[in-house]
Structure 1
Amino acid sequence: MDYLQPASWAEALALRAQRPDAVPVAGGTDVMVGLNFDRHRPAALLDLSRLRELTGWERDGDHVRLGAAEPYARIVQRLRDPLPALAQASRTVGSPQIRNRGSVGGNLGSASPAGDAHPPLLAAGATVEAASVRGTRLIPAAEFFTGVKANALAPDELIAAVRVPVARGPQRFAKIGTRNAMVIAVCSFAVALDLEGRRVGTGVGSAAPTPRRATAAEEFAAGELEAAGLWDSRGPLPGSLARRFGRLVADAASPVDDVRGTAAYRRHALSVIARRTLTWAWADLRKETSGCGCHAM
């Protein structure tokens, strides 16, 4: 197995073009597990861990451009306000050691249906910045996942960053597992309220071959809130709306039975956490309206 360690981003892209069979690695929290258990033996490793271009974040208008290798620990510490659901999800990833090394870019690269970062990115309408020697292109998160652990990257592309819209309303993330962290989700869900666009964003994880949105649930919730005048009045959220939203989210899933849970359990759990996260997000909004001005984490 060859080991490639570029000294610059330009060199990394050149090596990627020359060796599309090389597996990119930065934090190594996913790739190294496969290597240690001899589940995967790539022809080469492309070590991106020393490239400063892949870390950090910056505010770019109404978006945050998040470096692909920025660790989860710093997302939790620094991006709680502009990207609340992603920060919440980042808190549940593995152990503190994993959060210090793992990143959203690595999560996207592995494209696991159970990736914790995926539902918040889908709910927020994020885009993935893919780069190659040919240039840079933006891939909507909703189009990025193409199959089980498969993504839309071309063989010569690397993930440079993720562009995530700054929250324009409360966001929430929840997952079901045997404990709060250090666990692969049985199912997970994120919701994002866009007060300016009067939209509801969703992201479903670990309940289908790929992470996905629940578009029928999004349209239903946004329409019902509009029809009832709740976007303006910020009145109480009807329980019937939240329950119907939960059922529509569950309908959007296509889970399977596995060692972590049955398909039936996943559908039920999704309906519950979707109802709860929407209710929590709406309660956050009402607190802000009444002068609390805080996001519960």
Structure 2
Amino acid sequence: MDFLRPAGWPEALAAKAAHPDAVPLAGGTDLMVELNFDRRRPERLLDLGRIRELYEWETSPDGVRLGASVPFRDLVGPLRARLPGLARAAHTVGSPQIRNRGSVGGNLGTASPAGDAHPALLAAGARVEAASVRGTRMIPVEDFFTGPKRNALAPDELIRAVHVDAARGPQEFAKVGTRNAMVIAVCAFAIALHPHARTVRTGIGSAAPTPLRAREAEDFLTGVLDEGGHWEHGRPVPPAAARRFAELAAAACAPLDDVRGSAAYRRHAIKVLARRTLHWTWTAHTSRTGREGDASCA
């Protein structure tokens, strides 16, 4: 196995262009497991550990640019207020040691349907900055996942950064697992309220071949909130509407039976998570805006 270790970003892009089969290595929290258990044996590894810019993040009034190797630790810490949904997801990733090594860029590159960062990125409307010697392009995160553990990167491209808009409304993330920590999600759900645009976005993980948005559920809830004047007056979401939102979220799934859970259980769990996270976010929204009224939508 050849081990390529570029000292800078231009050198990394040149190496990837010369060797498209080279597998990027950053935190190694997924790749090293596959290597250790002999599930994967690539001819070349492309070690990105010496490229400091990939570990840097930048903030602006509009959002955050996360270098591909920024660890989950930073999302739980200094970036929590700007990216609350992603911070909640990051807090559920593995152990503290894994959060010190694993990154959003690595999570995206692996493209596992169960990646904890994916639902929160979908709900927030993130964009993936992909680069090669040919140039740079921005990929909406909902277009990034093309199949189980497959992504939209060209053979000569690397993930350089992830761009996430600053939260302008409440965001939540929840997942179901066989225990409370260090567990692969049986299923996961994220929701983000975007009051400035009067829209709702969602993200579902581990309940289909790829992470996905529940678009019909989003459109339904957006219509309910608009027609009922909920954004302006902070009125509670009607229980019937909350139940329908949850049903549409579950209907968006295409789960399989596996060792972690059955397809029927996953659909049921997504329905529960959708209703709960909607309640939490709407309660937070009404508290933030000072609106009165029972925010319960359970």
TM-score range, shorter chain: over 0.9
**Residues 17-32 of structure 1 mapped to structure 2, 5 A cutoff:** 17-32=17-32
Aligned length: 291
Match of 1:179 in 2: 179
* Secondary structure class of the residue paired with 1:78: coil
Shift in Å at residue 61 of structure 1? Answer: 4.2
2:111 maps to 1:120? no
Match of 1:208 in 2: 208
* Secondary structure class of the residue paired with 2:65: strand
Match of 1:96 in 2: 96
Identity score, percent: 66
User: Partners of 1:160 and 1:228 in 2: how far apart?
Assistant: 42
Counterpart amino acid of residue 250 in structure 1: A
Structure 1: which 5+ runs fail to align?
292-297
**Residues 124-139 of structure 1 mapped to structure 2, 5 A cutoff:** 124-139=124-139
User: Partners of 1:11 and 1:106 in 2: how far apart?
Assistant: 19
User: Partners of 1:101 and 1:178 in 2: how far apart?
Assistant: 23
**Residues 34-183 of structure 1 mapped to structure 2, 5 A cutoff:** 34-183=34-183
Counterpart amino acid of residue 270 in structure 1: I
Match of 1:295 in 2: none
User: Partners of 2:127 and 2:63 in 1: how far apart?
Assistant: 10
Shift in Å at residue 243 of structure 1? Answer: 1.1
Counterpart amino acid of residue 191 in structure 1: I
2:199 maps to 1:199? yes
User: Partners of 1:102 and 1:239 in 2: how far apart?
Assistant: 39
| TM-score, normalised with respect to structure 2 | 0.96
User: Partners of 1:61 and 1:52 in 2: how far apart?
Assistant: 24
Q: What does the per-residue CA deviation read over 1:150-185, in whole Å, with 9 as the maximum and x for residues that have no partner?
A: 000000000000011111100000000012221110
Match of 2:295 in 1: none
Counterpart amino acid of residue 127 in structure 1: R
Counterpart amino acid of residue 14 in structure 1: A
Q: What does the per-residue CA deviation read over 1:57-79, in whole Å, with 9 as the maximum and x for residues that have no partner?
A: 11244121111100001111011
Q: What does the per-residue CA deviation read over 1:113-157, in whole Å, with 9 as the maximum and x for residues that have no partner?
A: 000000011111111000001110000001000011000000000
User: Partners of 2:150 and 2:183 in 1: how far apart?
Assistant: 22
Shift in Å at residue 290 of structure 1? Answer: 2.8
* Secondary structure class of the residue paired with 1:80: coil
Counterpart amino acid of residue 89 in structure 1: A
Match of 1:294 in 2: none
Runs of 4+, deviation exceeding 6 Å? none
User: Partners of 1:80 and 1:194 in 2: how far apart?
Assistant: 17
2:224 maps to 1:224? yes
* Secondary structure class of the residue paired with 2:106: helix
User: Partners of 2:272 and 2:179 in 1: how far apart?
Assistant: 17
Q: What does the per-residue CA deviation read over 1:8-42, in whole Å, with 9 as the maximum and x for residues that have no partner?
A: 01100000001111100100000000000000000
Shift in Å at residue 80 of structure 1? Answer: 1.2
User: Partners of 1:289 and 1:114 in 2: how far apart?
Assistant: 34
User: Partners of 1:251 and 1:12 in 2: how far apart?
Assistant: 42
User: Partners of 1:271 and 1:250 in 2: how far apart?
Assistant: 5
Counterpart amino acid of residue 289 in structure 1: T
User: Partners of 2:91 and 2:9 in 1: how far apart?
Assistant: 29
Q: What does the per-residue CA deviation read over 1:71-119, in whole Å, with 9 as the maximum and x for residues that have no partner?
A: 0011110111111000000000000000000000000000000000000
Give me the CA root mean square deviation: 0.9
